[in-house]
Chain A
């Protein structure tokens, strides 16, 4: 049972445009949501997070939006740069279930120059 789903395995965007990566979840007990970025041959690195009590968090070019009623999370990257090309994972923390992170399957973002 995949509780965190990233339905788009890949996304291609032109440099300078907006990249929107989506994530859906099923578990209402998730209270923290995080995005990680992963380059080849490296481990995932933390990018940005949001608490379930908020609907938006911004950090430079990266903004995460949370729509709890739709159980949907999105990451916006504006403007996109070629160095943003990587696999992006969304993750969620479950309250009272060990509090570990559950990850989605990832979306490969390609930013074309």
Chain B
């Protein structure tokens, strides 16, 4: 158990729907990062929050949004879902606002299947 908790583990939904993925960071970590891993591809950075504020943005679609709450958990909202949004979504956390030589701690991911 890495200490980063992601729920749900699996999600199957229809095109056009909206889903929310949840992440609780490791205790003491202030940064939360969201990554998307499509079929057998690398992890694509979506967005980072640090202590409630958006810190960095990657190739995140306008249909996707995220936020970090006062208790530091984060939610990734995906709307108007398309088949191509099917992927593994990982959340990671770190103490600092930036990556260090210790990297991030990842959760086990949410597998989203859009049918």
Q: Judge whether A62 is part of the interface by a CB distance below 8 angstroms.
A: no
Chain A residues whose C-beta falls within 8 Å of the C-beta of B99 in the assembled complex: 32, 34, 93, 99-101
Query: Are A43 and B103 in touch, CB under 8 angstroms?
Result: no
Query: Are A100 and B56 in touch, CB under 8 angstroms?
Result: yes
- Count of CB-CB pairs between chains A and B under 8 Å: 75
Given contacts A89-B42, A100-B45, A103-B42, contact A43 B101 (CB under 8 A): no
Chain B residues whose C-beta falls within 8 Å of the C-beta of A9 in the assembled complex: 40
User: In whole Å, how far is B25's beta carbon from the nearest beta carbon of chain A?
Assistant: 13
Q: Which of B56, B102, B105, B106 contacts A98 (CB 8 A)?
A: B56
Number of B residues, CB within 8 Å of A: 30
Query: Are A43 and B33 in touch, CB under 8 angstroms?
Result: no
Chain B residues whose C-beta falls within 8 Å of the C-beta of A32 in the assembled complex: 99-101
Query: Are B90 and A44 in touch, CB under 8 angstroms?
Result: yes
Query: Are A49 and B109 in touch, CB under 8 angstroms?
Result: no
User: In whole Å, how far is B58's beta carbon from the nearest beta carbon of chain A?
Assistant: 7
Docked complex: B86-110 residues within 8 A CB-CB of A: 90, 92, 97-109
Query: Are A45 and B101 in touch, CB under 8 angstroms?
Result: no
With both beta carbons as reference points, the residue of chain B lying nearest to A36 in the complex is identified as B103
User: In whole Å, how far is B35's beta carbon from the nearest beta carbon of chain A?
Assistant: 8
Query: Are A51 and B104 in touch, CB under 8 angstroms?
Result: no
Given contacts A100-B48, A106-B42, contact A43 B102 (CB under 8 A): no
Query: Are A34 and B42 in touch, CB under 8 angstroms?
Result: no
